[in-house]
Structure 1
């Protein structure tokens, strides 16, 4: 019977599929680290208090990239090129989610509106990241090879999501509520479509590597389409709600290091 645990165990047990999985994850985290680092450097004066938190977010993402690369090294594997159709962060940017890279490469301060949009986009993508890592933590938190990495990254992703909620609520109270809600809705509907496309592409790559039977590949693809249908109908709403998190000031300190991995 197919399950999230059995599927990921199969990917974990094969060097080639594990190599691709970690390479995709490391690439996305590295891009997120660069983006947050640039945003922290360009924060407008009106939101300077956010700069250390955004920098911390970027440092966490960089750390996650190092962790995935370290997991590869532990198995004497090298990162491989990420197929374009599996590059979640790049495809999101191409669809207008996140601040454009050409803007981030300029040494011009961002606007307060840019920061609001950045946080709204992050709230959506961090919802996905947090949910995915909670699933991995549930099934593999005690795994001897990847358990410690999974728990560390999951904790960070929960912090990132809490930070987005708290800061967006603060900005909503300051008069940005309409922009926040409009951006959240647009971002959520775009993200679920990109996530569907990337999931199909990743499963196609894994099916090729692991020589899945056609029936198994078709069942997985049908499951991905079913998740998309649910999220398109109603599930996206969980990505646009805002609530004050239990964990306040989640990014208020320095980023933790990962010497045991990196």
Structure 2
């Protein structure tokens, strides 16, 4: 019987599958770090208080990229080129979700609407990241090689999600509620399609690397489609709700200085 733990364990046990897994994760985190860094530099005057938190968010994402790189080096592996069909961040941008690179490379300040777009996009994608890391933490928190990295990244993703809730609620109270809900809904519906497509692509690559039987690959693909069907029918709503987080001012301090040895 297939289980999340067995599936992840199989991927982690194989050098080439582990190499692809860490390369995809590192690439996405590093890209997120760059994006947050640029947004922090371009925050409009009306939202300048957000800049340190956005910078902290970016520093965390950069740290995660380094952690995945360290996990590769620890096994004597080097990164591989990320297949374009598994590039979650790039595919979201192609669907017009979040702030485009061409906007971030310019020097002119962002608008308040740009900040709402950024926070709504982050609220949706951090929901996914938080859920994925909690799954890994549930199964691998005590793993001798991965445990510390999983716990650290999972805690950071929970902080990022709390920050998005808090800031979007602040902006909703300032009169942007309808805009926020519109952007959140659009982002969530696009994200669930991209997540399905990326998941199918990743499992296809893993199946070829690990030589999975056709029946196993078909079962995994069916499971991915089932998750998308659930999310399309209403599961996406968990990504657009806003509530006061248990962790207040989660990104209000300096980046964690704890050693990153994985």
TM range (shorter): over 0.9
Aligned to 1:45: 45
The TM-score with structure 2 as length reference comes to: 0.99
Aligned to 2:68: 68
Residue pair 1:136, 1:150 contacting (<8 A) in 2 also: yes
Aligned to 1:225: 225
Residue pair 1:63, 1:258 contacting (<8 A) in 2 also: no
In 2, the alpha carbon distance for the partners of 1:257 and 1:190 equals 35
Aligned to 2:20: 20
Where does structure 2 lack aligned partners over 5 or more consecutive residues?
A: none
Residue pair 1:66, 1:261 contacting (<8 A) in 2 also: no
In 2, the alpha carbon distance for the partners of 1:139 and 1:128 equals 17
Aligned residues: 262
Q: CA deviation at 1:258?
A: 4.8
Does the alignment pair 1:167 with 2:167? yes
Residue pair 1:33, 1:61 contacting (<8 A) in 2 also: yes
Does the alignment pair 1:134 with 2:134? yes
CA displacement 1:32-89 (0-9 Å, x = unmatched) = 0000000000000000000000000000000000000000000000000000000001
In 2, the alpha carbon distance for the partners of 1:76 and 1:135 equals 26
CA displacement 1:108-157 (0-9 Å, x = unmatched) = 00001100111011000000000000000000000000000000000000
Aligned to 1:182: 182
Residue pair 1:67, 1:258 contacting (<8 A) in 2 also: no
The TM-score with structure 1 as length reference comes to: 0.99
RMSD, aligned CA: 0.7
Where does structure 1 lack aligned partners over 5 or more consecutive residues?
A: none
In 1, the alpha carbon distance for the partners of 2:261 and 2:201 equals 29
Q: CA deviation at 1:98?
A: 1.1
Structural mapping, 1:54-93, within 5 Å = 54-93=54-93
SS of the counterpart of 2:82? coil
CA displacement 1:86-107 (0-9 Å, x = unmatched) = 0001101111111010110001
SS of the counterpart of 2:243? coil
Q: CA deviation at 1:260?
A: 3.9
In 2, the alpha carbon distance for the partners of 1:91 and 1:152 equals 27
Structural mapping, 1:108-119, within 5 Å = 108-119=108-119
In 2, the alpha carbon distance for the partners of 1:161 and 1:17 equals 29
Pick closer, same or farther for the CA change 1:219–1:152 going to 2, 3 Å: same
